[in-house]
Every structure is written in C-alpha cells, then in structure tokens.
Structure 1
Amino acid sequence: MTEAQLTFDGETDVVIRRRFSHPPEKVWRALTEPALIRQWLSPDLTDCRMDARPSGSFRYDWPEFFFSGPVLDARAPHHMVHVEHFNGDTSQGPTVTTTLAADGTGTRMTVVMRYKDAAARAKAIEQGFTDGIAEVYARIEDIGFPG
C-alpha cells in the first residue's frame, strides 16, 4: 500500500492509510517541521506553523483560507492528536489522530479524522477536504530530508 487508501468508517470517521519508504522518524519530521510541511502539503502556503507537543498548536495558511487548531497529544515519532479548524470555525473541525508504525525499513501511517457527527463529515467531503489526499501524501516520498 504505497498509495493513500481513504475509507469511511461508521458515520463520523474518515480513515487514511499509507505506507512510506521512510522510517517513522523521518515521516514524523515531514509532518511536524514547517520547512518540510511546505514541501509536501502545498507550494501555495503563505504561513506554516507547527508546535507538535501537547498544548501546542498549528496553523497552515493559503491565500484564501487557513486550517488551525490545538495539538492535544504528541509522542514523537509515533503518535499525534490535533483538532483541525477551517477558517477558525471551531464547530465543525475533526479530531485527527495520526499513528506512525515501523514497517520493515518504512512506516505505516494511519490517520483517523473523527467529525462530531455524520452531517459534519458530509459537509467536509462536500467541501473537498478529502480530495487529492493520495497526491499530497505521495509528495512525502520525494522529500530530501536535511540533516
């Protein structure tokens, strides 16, 4: 499974699974270091901040919109939980749990995006929040990790 697999679980969850050739430590860096996040998430980011620790927060800005929220739990390099708000709307954002597990010399990543109810998940899908996930995560494979 080198391409991201997206499934819907129950009424509230979006689950993404993908295998990377990089070890968990490097995938963690890709998910938490702003300079690396910019390489795979979007070349259009105008601001990118990530404080990957409990009580930390993140913010990713594009010219027209932003995602931000608190980091609830972080245990490098295997586990992070954060809440993802779209344009500051705290009523609809999912709680996102990311798990990285060693898989040979690579990593198995599982992301569970849990929405508050079926309507919130349906709205997120309708707004395109799940579009392009396979292509975005595929870019992590191409990162040249410094240091």
Structure 2
Amino acid sequence: MTTATLTRSVTVEREIAHPPEKLWRALTQPHLIAEWLMKNDFAPVVGHCFNLRGEWGGVLDCEVLDIEPNRMLSYTWDFAHDDPAFNLKSTVTFTLTPTPKGTLLRMEQAGFRPEQKQAFGGARAGWQEFLGKLEELLAREA
C-alpha cells in the first residue's frame, strides 16, 4: 500500500472588466508580466524554461506546461531553498472565462505540502497583491 502526499492549493478568482485577449497579453508578454508579477524571461511556448526574479532576491524556476491562447496558461513554479523544508514545487494555472462584464480570472497554485504553512500563507496573500497589480496594469493599458 502506498501513501499519497496530500497537497493544498491557493485559488483566487476575480472578475476583471477587460476581455480575455487583453488579460492574456498581460499574462504572456514579459514586459507586462514584470509590471504585475516579477522580472522574467517568459515565452508562451510549451516546454519553455524561464525564471521569475523577485525583488527580494529569490529566483523561481519555471517551465510552461500548457497553453490555450486567451483561455488557459499553466507553468511550474519551483523555488529551491538551502533548507529543504522551504523547497516548493508547485504548478500555477490561470484560467480565463469570458463573462458579460469582461473575464473571470481563476488562478490556482497547487502543490503545497502540509508542513509548508508559511509558504501557503505567503502565497494566499501574495496572489491577492499580484492580481491587484494586474488589475491596475490593465486599467492603465486601456
């Protein structure tokens, strides 16, 4: 008998008053990603490996897993730390659903181990901040 490791996910949903195509650009163009998330060398190509570089000096190693233009984007979000307890291997998935008012954006970051309470809490707060910056960017890019 095998024991599966249970993981938790952070999920944030927001209705954004912009069409999926505009939101998609902000999720996939490196200069726009840098404005709301982190500096990066992203390319919207399945299998592309890229880094997200935080202002705090940390680097996340990422790989594009799946793309459906204007609908869905998924990539790994891995953080290596000197202390193995802080190593994080997760997957971030953005899903865009058109609505009468714009787009329902669903972000899920999956893969937090039960002992990663600090990382889980940080992601819950961090994604709220990131998506707030994304909305500000979209409003400026009218």
For normalisation by structure 2, the TM-score amounts to: 0.77
CA distance in 2 between counterparts of 1:70 and 1:11 reads 20
Report if aligned partners of 2:80, 2:88 keep a CA contact under 8 Å in 1.
Answer: no
Offset of 1:124 from its aligned partner?
Answer: 1.5
CA distance in 1 between counterparts of 2:46 and 2:126 reads 29
Offset of 1:17 from its aligned partner?
Answer: 0.8
Alignment map for 1:22-101 (pairs within 5 Å)? 22-41=18-37, 45=38, 47-63=39-55, 64-87=57-80, 92-101=88-97
SS at match of 2:98: strand
Q: Which residue of 2 aligns with 1:108?
A: 104
SS at match of 2:123: coil
Q: CA RMSD in A?
A: 2.4
Report if aligned partners of 1:72, 1:82 keep a CA contact under 8 Å in 2.
Answer: yes
SS at match of 1:138: helix
CA distance in 2 between counterparts of 1:142 and 1:92 reads 28
Offset of 1:48 from its aligned partner?
Answer: 1.6
For normalisation by structure 1, the TM-score amounts to: 0.75
Change (3 A) 1:132 1:114: closer
Unmatched segments (≥5 aa) in structure 1 = 1-9
SS at match of 2:66: strand
Structure 1 or 2, whichever has the larger Rg, is: 2
Between 80-89 and 107-116, report the one with greater CA deviation: 80-89
CA distance in 1 between counterparts of 2:13 and 2:126 reads 14
Unmatched segments (≥5 aa) in structure 2 = 1-5
Number of aligned residues = 130
| Higher share of residues assigned helix | 2
1:16 matched to 2:4? The reply is: no
